[in-house]
């Protein structure tokens, strides 16, 4: 009897109280949106980076430390995307649960298709290359599916009494994603094989999924601003290969892309890599709805 009481007391201490929501902090709004879908009303989410900010360089606000101190789960993109700002915040939060290796830590890249893993040793001369592969992988909806499953598993581990709810929510998310993927694939199918240039190397997973061919970047190297000589190379390449569009993440200056467009006739398209890029992009589904419609409309204008 005594042992049972003790066991129950221990369980009660370990479990999240019924009235407290699981506190989920993510670095990206994309993960927060997926966590909202999978967690439903059992979770409260907060994203550190806004979708209109460069996810490599986030201004660390003091309020982030409090959020991290109280977090039960931390979802990161990993692959060193957050290396510039997250480690000191984690140190200051003093929350061992959400540190790498802790029970509440979730690296969303695990299990996802990761492209652009360097085949040679990474040096500074190569620019801001990520040694573990391209960290912008959530722009492939199939990776979104893998992330959702990982979030459901993590939440079930942290909050076991919600496991069946998380499974049910996950099933609904996956069903909607499968349906939306058919719609998105259908809209993009006429443009299979279209060549594009992108400002930063943010789109390899999107391009692979939707069968676009990325032939160059406005940045001469990842994280390095445009240079006149590289811009000239891109103009020549786009003219020779008849590239119809330059995709620009919302946090880059449009001056060089507009100049390239004026010389090549290509369309400049502000392309949102994350939820929250504009207020209308509220969910992971909105993200693809918005970008795909923008791309299709721009391509129609080119025909
Ligand atoms: Zn990057």
Q: How do residues 88-135 score in pLDDT, each as one tens digit?
A: 999 999 999 999 999 999 999 999 999 998 777 767 777 667 788 999
Give the Å distance between the CA of 182 and the centre of ligand 1. 28
**pTM greater than the 0.85 cutoff:** yes
- Mean residue pLDDT of the chain comes to 93
C-alpha 103 – ligand 1 centre gap (Å): 28
List, for residues 52-96, the tens digit of each pLDDT value.
999 999 998 999 999 999 999 999 999 999 999 999 999 999 999
Mean pLDDT computed over 233-239: 98
pLDDT number for residue 120: 72
- Three-state helix/strand/coil letters over 206-242: HHHHCCCEEEEECCCCCCCCCCHHHHHHHHHHHHHHC
pLDDT of 10 higher than 80? no
Distance 117 CA to ligand 1 centre (A): 13
Give distance in angstroms: CA of 240 to centre of ligand 1.
27
Q: How many CA atoms lie within 13 A of 12 on its CB side?
A: 6
Residue partners of 183: CB distance under 8 A and separation at least 6: none
Average pLDDT over residues 166-183: 98
Backbone angles phi, psi at 122, to 5 degrees: -80, 130
Q: Is 16's pLDDT higher than 80?
A: no
Q: How far is the CA of 157 from the centre of ligand 1 (A)?
A: 31
Q: Is the pLDDT of residue 1 over 90?
A: no
What's the CA-to-centroid distance between 136 and ligand 1, angstroms?
6
């Amino acid at each position: 009897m005594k042992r049972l009481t003790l066991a129950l007391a221990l369980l009660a201490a370990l479990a999240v109280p019924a009235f407290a929501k699981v506190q989920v902090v993510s670095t990206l709004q994309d993960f927060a949106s997926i966590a909202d879908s999978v967690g439903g009303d059992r979770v409260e989410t907060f994203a550190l980076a806004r979708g209109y900010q460069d996810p490599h360089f986030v201004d660390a606000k003091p309020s982030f430390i409090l959020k991290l101190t109280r977090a039960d789960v931390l979802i990161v993109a990993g692959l060193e995307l957050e290396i510039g700002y997250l480690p000191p915040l984690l140190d200051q939060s003093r929350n061992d649960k959400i540190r790498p290796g802790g029970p509440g830590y979730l690296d969303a890249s695990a299990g996802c298709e990761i492209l652009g893993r360097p085949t040679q040793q990474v040096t500074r001369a190569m620019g801001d290359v990520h040694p573990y592969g391209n960290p912008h992988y959530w722009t492939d909806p199939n990776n979104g599916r893998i992330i959702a499953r990982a979030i459901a598993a993590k939440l079930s581990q942290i909050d076991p009494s919600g496991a069946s709810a998380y499974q049910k929510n996950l099933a609904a998310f996956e069903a909607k994603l499968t349906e939306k993927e058919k719609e998105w694939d259908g809209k993009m199918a006429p443009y299979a094989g279209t060549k594009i240039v992108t400002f930063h190397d943010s789109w390899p997973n999107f391009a692979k999924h939707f069968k676009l061919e990325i032939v160059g970047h406005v940045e001469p190297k990842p994280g390095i601003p445009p240079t006149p000589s590289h811009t000239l190379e891109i103009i020549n390449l786009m003219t020779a290969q008849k590239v119809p569009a330059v995709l620009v993440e919302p946090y880059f200056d449009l001056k060089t892309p507009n100049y390239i467009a004026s010389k090549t006739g290509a369309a400049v398209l502000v392309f949102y890599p994350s939820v929250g890029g504009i207020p209308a992009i509220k969910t992971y589904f909105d993200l693809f709805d918005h970008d795909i419609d923008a791309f299709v409309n721009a391509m129609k204008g080119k025909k």
